[in-house]
Structure 1
C-alpha cells in the first residue's frame, strides 16, 4: 500500500535528519517512483492524522517535519510485522 510505504520511508528519513514536508515529498517520490503530488498529499494526510508534526513558522509545507509518539508506535508495529513476515 502506497501510504504505508510513504510513511515508512518518511519516518526512516526523519530519524536521521529533519526536513520540510516538500523536501521529504521530493525525496520519497524519487525513491518510490510515486508522483510528487501523491506523495505530498499522503504525507500531509499522515501529518493531519498525527503521525508527523510540523514545527516552526514558515508555513504549512516549509516548516520542519518531525515524527510524533503516535508515529513512533506505528513505525515500531510495522517494523515488527515486516520482521515476522520474513522469518
Structure 2
C-alpha cells in the first residue's frame, strides 16, 4: 500500500470520528494542536500521515471508556447465555 492511500484512509477514518462525535472531546486542546500541525507545518505526505495518526489516537483514547463498557457488556451477555444454555441442557 502506498503512502497516498494510507493518507486517504487516515482522512476517511478521521472524518468518521468527527462526524460521530457527540460532545466536546476531553482531548480537544491536543486535537487542536495537531490540526495546526497538519495545516501549517506538514510539508509532505509522510508528515501528514504521522500527524493524522496522532489525531486518530486521541479520538480513540477518548472512546476508551465506551469501548470498555461495550466489551464488558458483551462479555457479561455471553457468560449469561452460556449459563442459560447449560441450565436448559440439564
TM range (shorter): 0.3 to 0.5
Please, what TM-score do these two structures have when normalized by structure 1? 0.33
Name whichever structure is richer in strand by fraction. 1
Please, what TM-score do these two structures have when normalized by structure 2? 0.33
Which is greater in Rg? 2
Q: Using CA pairs below 8 Å that are at least 6 residues apart, which structure has the higher relative contact order?
A: 2
Name whichever structure is richer in helix by fraction. 2
